[in-house]
Amino acid sequence: MLFTTVFATLLSIASWTPPVAANLRIKADHHSWGGVNYPMLQFFTPQHRDDTIRELVKANVRVIRLFIRPDEQHPDPESELGGFDKSLLDQFDDCLAAIHHLSKGQMKVIVVPHDAHALRGSNDVPCDAYCKKLDGAFLDFYSQDEYRELYKTRLEVFFKHYPSKAFDGRPWGELSEIILGVDLQNEPFSGIWPIPAGESWLCDIANYLKFNVGLDKSNIAVISGGISGPQSIDGIQNFPDTAMECAAIDVIGIHGYFKKENDATAGTPWANMFIPGNTLTARAQGKKGDSKLLLVEEWSYVHSNFGHFYKKEALFDQGNALNYRGIPWLYSHLTTLDEGLTAKVNPLRPSYVSWNALKDVLQRAYSSRSNFDWSKYLPAPETGLSNLTAIPLNPYIPEQSDCTFGCEGHLCDAADGCAPDLLCKNSICQQNSESQPGKTGDRCDSKKVCQEHLRCSNGECQKCSVRPPIQPERRPRKRTIPSQEPPPYDPSARIIANDITASCHSDSLPSLFTLYHKKTLPEHPICLSPPNPPRGQPCASTAHCNANEYCNWGLCTSCASSDACLGARCRSNNKCKTGFCNNFGKCDYPGQKKIISGPGARGKSRNNRVPGVPKGHERGPAKVRDEAMRVNIPGEKAQETGRAGVTA
């Protein structure tokens, strides 16, 4: 049996080639970036504030998101409606100046002029002047003209009338050298979806900021701010039609909290959500002059049943997935206190090692590529863009983990980046579907081929084994007592396959025969290395292929620039090589769930239901009215907001 395995393995040597680049790797020359949320940075002592900023500069942080809101120790600048405390605005202005000076102009801020949580005293944000006047009916803030005008006054005072003492008396609305963008509000309608009343508030406030306040003239972005709170995988809480179709909104801010699962890393949902060319990313790119930028404005570690020891792993996985998809991001959030079992990260306490993992992905984000052009709002980094052709492996996976890479849910860039029984599809290791052709055990012949890493033998796709790691002759142990020798080498302490710290045996004859003589050859032949150029996985439909491929005569074929594939404009399914033309006239990845919201196509038919409205209440005397309502919602906590899946 061992000789047969050696012979079968030797047959693969002639076909061995270096690993190929990932099919969905971004090659555009636009830069992505990483940043952090630090809600109360302006209230620190100047020394502590500046020390924090210097550490963030070292980590290549490009953007800090700052909040203007009250906390337990500090009031809101608008202590009474229409009345403002200039000293608090001066303090915020000092923070802007410190960031600009210490970063030498390479770092910018996103300003959050108000937090929707302050409207009801939730999420550890005290009840402010608006909240006291609303008296629990917080949706009145969005539906009643009185509150809308009061809020516009707040925005006008902040960005038009306040003279910046640190920037020569200019208003904040002109400070594009330090301000990247302004949120409409932090999580307007937070916890409410579908939005029952006042949805027109979004575009009205966006237009006011852009044209009345004058952000458009200053090249300062208007950001949606995480509408309706944390995003779920299959929902559109952060990008309803109202926001996507509003020309005054420049950036769609997405908030989401995901945790590590048995079949997915904490970053898998982000990798699924931002598949290049899917409904979200293609619609955001849109037509010239009608495009949006996508920003993950809040994400953080979410505690899971795996335990807090996996915090560093989860931090790296999420940042790594967003870097790979080219989506800028902001971690939520940093703290000056003890981290404990929370999601917060302290950048000034080296005893807390979670900052090392976050700092790692921040530095990688600095040179990451993006399909979206941010140069209007943020200058290109001083160093060049990354030319990485392989996905960085996570160096923060604990030793007690069952797998370091290649397991279900892990990122991959080729078939040999996953366990032999998994399929690398859309850059994620995943289980083969029942209909997926060419998997282990399937019948094969000259017309029905196996998956690229499997061999066809005796008319069947055969099992294969990962390339074995080189085992050390002796694993050194530390002495526990100086007078005693360290314990002897434990033969059972072997390096397992897929260990990130391991080195693999090559295909050389001496290496293979060494394995043979040691009787350590794997039970099955070593999996085939990816061919270069790639042959393409077998398929029966385009749903069996990567998102940027189509099924062509039984093999997945990469789309050419002239092909109508993901993101191409279309009028019908038969115009798309992917076989699916979505509701927004773009070729999309097949098999995704259609999400219909608002009046749109569904509203044109009297026989169809209206989203969010009970049956029988769509029209007539029982129609649900667009009126103010009193809603009490429990305080928001960081928790998972969806299971891994593909967002349409």
Encode 177-203: b = buried (16+ Cβ within 10 Å), e = exposed: ebbbbbbbbbbbbbbbbbbbbbbebbb
CATH number at residue 310: 3.20.20.80
Phi, psi for residue 160 in degrees, rounded to 5: -130, -35
526 assigned to some structural domain: no
134 assigned to some structural domain: yes
d(CA 428, CA 259): 16
DSSP state letters, 147-212: HHHHHHHHHHIIIIISBPTTTTT-BGGG-TTTEEEEESSBSTTTT-SS--S-TTHHHHHHHIIIII
Residue in this structure with the two tokens 């069952």, named with its chain if needed = 402
15 assigned to some structural domain: no
483 assigned to some structural domain: no
Instruction: Compute the average pLDDT of residues 378-382.
Output: 88
Range(s) of the domain holding residue 162: 30-370
- Lowest mean pLDDT: which of 129-138, 154-163, 397-406? 397-406
Using the predicted structure, report yes or no on whether residue 288 has a pLDDT greater than 70.
no
- Work out the burial of residue 509: count CB atoms within 10 Å of its CB; fewer than 13 is exposed, 13-18 middle, 19 or more buried: exposed
267 assigned to some structural domain: yes
- Lowest mean pLDDT: which of 249-263, 282-296, 590-604? 590-604
Render pLDDT for 173-209 as a digit per residue (tens, 0 to 9): 999 999 999 999 999 998 888 887 788 999 999 999 9
Please report the pLDDT score of residue 560 as a whole number: 87
Q: C-alpha angle 263/267/273, rounded to 5°?
A: 100
Cα four-point dihedral sign 405, 411, 416, 418: positive
CB 282 within 8 A of CB 586: yes
Tokens representing 550? 């189509």
Using the predicted structure, report yes or no on whether residue 254 has a pLDDT greater than 60.
yes
- Lowest mean pLDDT: which of 128-132, 323-327, 399-403, 407-411? 399-403
539 assigned to some structural domain: no
Q: What is the pTM of this model?
A: 0.84
399 assigned to some structural domain: no
CB 295 within 8 A of CB 328: yes
Render pLDDT for 636-648 as a digit per residue (tens, 0 to 9): 555 556 554 444 4
Residue in this structure with the two tokens 């039609």, named with its chain if needed = 241
Render pLDDT for 526-571 as a digit per residue (tens, 0 to 9): 888 888 788 889 999 888 998 888 999 999 998 888 888 887 888 8
- Pick the closest to residue 33 from 62, 55, 64, 58 (CA basis): 62
195 assigned to some structural domain: yes
Q: What is the dihedral of CA 119, 122, 123, 127, to 10 degrees?
A: 60
Q: Please state, as a whole number, how many other Cβ atoms lie within 10 Å of the Cβ of residue 351.
A: 8
Taking CA atoms, 164 is separated from 99, 107, 112, in Å, by 14, 18, 17
DSSP state letters, 488-532: PP-TT-PPPTT-TT--B--S-HHHHHHHHHTT---SSPBPPPPPS
CB 461 within 8 A of CB 454: yes
- Lowest mean pLDDT: which of 50-64, 197-211, 373-387? 373-387
Instruction: Compute the average pLDDT of residues 590-599.
Output: 54
Q: Please state, as a whole number, how many other Cβ atoms lie within 10 Å of the Cβ of residue 246.
A: 22
d(CA 266, CA 276): 19
State whether residue 295 is helix, strand or coil: strand
253 vs 503: which has the higher pLDDT:
253
Tokens representing 20? 């190929």
Taking CA atoms, 375 is separated from 39, 330, 365, in Å, by 25, 18, 15
- Pick the closest to residue 66 from 7, 112, 18 (CA basis): 112
Q: C-alpha angle 632/636/637, rounded to 5°?
A: 150
Q: What is the mean pLDDT of the chain?
A: 84
Phi, psi for residue 526 in degrees, rounded to 5: -65, 140
Q: What is the CA radius of gyration of the chain?
A: 27
Render pLDDT for 65-87 as a digit per residue (tens, 0 to 9): 999 999 999 999 999 999 999 99
Please name the helix (run of DSSP H) or strand (run of DSSP E) that holds residue 331, with its range, or none: strand 329-331
What is the count of structural domains for the chain? 1
CB 69 within 8 A of CB 118: yes
